[in-house]
Amino acid sequence: MEFRTEVAVDDFPFSLGYATPTLFCGSCFTENIGGIMRTLKMPVLVNPFGVVYNPLSVAQVLQRSVAGKIYNADELQFRDGLWFSFDFHSRFASPNRNACIALLNEAVSSAKDFISTTQCIVVTFGTARVYKLKGSGEVVSNCHKVPAVEFENKLLAVDEVVEIWSNLISMLLGLNPSLKLVLTVSPIRHWKDGAPGNQLSKSTLIVAVHRLVEMYSDNVFYFPSYELMMDDLRDYRFYDDDMLHPSPKAIEYIWSKFSRVLIDDDSMKLAAQIQKIIQAAGHRPFNTDTPEHKRFVDKILKSIQDIKLIHPSINFEREIAILKGEQ
């Protein structure tokens, strides 16, 4: 007997891996999957501006990245002793205005350089609700703990999301006609909107995404992370302690589905080798002077050398330093 409904994920007509630079942007679920690929040393850039939840803000940061438009002092805000931008996560805030501008523009520059080489952009939408500053009407990516009375919020309509993203996709494909986009909806529920509000928001995103997939069927694809969590793993044992975020086991399961249909076989084999090297470097022996440990280190260093001969761009500096006792 079957006691659950397993969600089947169709194969994709392309694959990702160590030869395909991939940009991840969007909600914190993006950081879960993109973070796994980054740990495995795949060529990824994950949320260069920090976590971004709504599709309008994601589009804005991508447009700014492509243009390479730098920030100036007039675009910064100051509150509670910190300079910050409403476009960026709070980790970019600084008590020094010039330092804040430098952090923002370094992120813009890195994103622009990476996008020029990327072959795929993976986007996760978290919510269709946007927050606007009452004074300027500016849609913010992050509220930076500014009091709620200074914002008004609205739920984007399906047509608004489609229009914003069709314009962006057309621009991106004009720069790189072979670019692929993987769109997904975050399985993390936005509970402050209440259960009905969260469902309305997610439904808006799902309808908009599927419309975009239909419009750009050769370049835009859907990965069902939301359905995997809601239908396949519909049990609270797969949730974290807050009962909203996926547990590590759930993330591992969704990654297994993602990697099966989107990561090429050779890259998965290489990833397994790299994972062993990372684990070996994390091993802390009681005595590093034994012949056994030295043979162990030599074996791992040889494995790194073998990989570097074929994949010279993969960075093992941290692991080598640890193995040689330099960290």
3-state secondary structure of 7: coil
Q: Are 44 and 37 in contact (CB under 8 A)?
A: yes
What pLDDT does residue 3 have? 75
The Cα 97–Cα 242 span in angstroms is 36
Q: Is residue 285 very low, low, confident or very high in pLDDT (cuts 50, 70, 90)? A: confident
pLDDT at residue 327 greater than cutoff 70:
no
Q: How far is CA 76 from CA 85, 88, 199, in A?
A: 5, 10, 34
Domains in the chain, ordered, with CATH?
A: 22-72+99-263 (3.40.50.1110), 265-327 (no CATH)
pLDDT tens digits for range 96-115: 999 999 999 999 999 999 99
What pLDDT does residue 292 have? 86
pLDDT tens digits for range 195-206: 999 999 999 999
Global pTM?
0.94
What pLDDT does residue 300 have? 94
